[in-house]
Amino acid sequence: LSFAINHGRIIQKILFKGKATLARGPFDDNSPLFNQGMESYKYNPKRAVQLLQQAGWRDSNGDGILDRAGQPLTLNFYYPKGLRLDESISRQIKIDLLRVGVEVNPKPLAKSKIIANLASGDFDAILIDYTFENKIESLKRVFSTSGDDNYMGYASNLFEDRLNFYHETSDPTMKKTLIKSLQEVINQDQPVTFLYFKWWTHYLVNLKKFRNHRDLGGNIHPFQDWIIRDLESN
């Protein structure tokens, strides 16, 4: 499904006017742990259809939705309620996946409900914002079978073996190699679809002095669009 999502459109048309980079894994390009050799999963709906067909999914009744063993490929897709940006991203993902025969039902949920659903495993897919720290523990927490944040139930013997080897070896060069190898395992298995890394720009805004500094979605307007309240009263 990662091939079916138009990451570029999300970044350029929805997200911060392109102020983000395509994510290939848990670490961004500037991270010392980043593995340059990973698959980027750029938008390729034909490849997505090929992989789905290889997994046994076909549109057997001509309704436009893939099915297997009589079950349609339908996903309930939860996203944080009240966040216009996440709503727009969810809508784009629905459009993209429908083009390859996957029916997506976007459903907004309160943050507390999303957390509860993650903990219980009661979800098909969830849109969340997650930050990985630049250390091995961050990968273990999300992708190891013993990880506290492994909500997907992801299990890979190869990942576990290489993670154990990382902790057993004292060779720093080997440790670097193993961190990159762990990223390759995640990249190939795609237990999650990585979307983007934001370019953070920070502002301190005097709310008593300025207005019109945010749009309806909560994003910061360009500084030249801010309005000084004192000038309005003169």
212 and 113 fall within a common domain:
no
152 and 62 fall within a common domain:
yes
12 and 122 fall within a common domain:
yes
Tokens matching residue 92: 């784009």
Q: Residue 74 in contact with residue 97, Cβ under 8 Å?
A: no
Phi, psi of 53 (to 5 degrees): -65, -40
145 and 126 fall within a common domain:
yes
Collapse the DSSP code of 70 into the 3-class scheme (helix H, G, I; strand E, B; otherwise coil) and give the result: coil
Number of domains in the chain: 2
- Kind of pairing between the strands at 196-198 and 20-22: antiparallel
pLDDT at 232: 46
Mean pLDDT of all residues in 103-131: 93
Using pLDDT thresholds of 50, 70 and 90, give the confidence band for residue 222.
low
216 and 143 fall within a common domain:
no
* 108 closest CA partner among 83, 133, 131, 132: 83
Question: Which residues make Cβ contacts (< 8 Å) with residue 173, sequence separation at least 6?
Answer: none
212 and 107 fall within a common domain:
no
pLDDT at 76: 96
167 and 232 fall within a common domain:
no
What is the C-alpha to C-alpha distance for residues 156 and 163, in angstroms, rounded to an integer?
11
Domain of 140: which CATH number? 3.10.105.10
pLDDT of 234 over the 70 cut: no
Collapse the DSSP code of 214 into the 3-class scheme (helix H, G, I; strand E, B; otherwise coil) and give the result: strand
Q: Which residue has the higher pLDDT, 231 or 190?
A: 190
Q: What is the pLDDT of residues 61-73, one digit of tens each?
A: 999 999 999 999 9
Range of the domain at 191: 2-201
54 and 73 fall within a common domain:
yes
pLDDT of 121 over the 80 cut: yes
85 and 98 fall within a common domain:
yes
What is the C-alpha to C-alpha distance for residues 230 and 224, in angstroms, rounded to an integer?
16
209 and 189 fall within a common domain:
no
Collapse the DSSP code of 84 into the 3-class scheme (helix H, G, I; strand E, B; otherwise coil) and give the result: helix
Mean pLDDT of all residues in 177-195: 95
196 and 113 fall within a common domain:
yes
Q: Residue 201 in contact with residue 220, Cβ under 8 Å?
A: yes
Mean pLDDT of all residues in 21-32: 90
88 and 189 fall within a common domain:
yes
pTM over 0.85: no
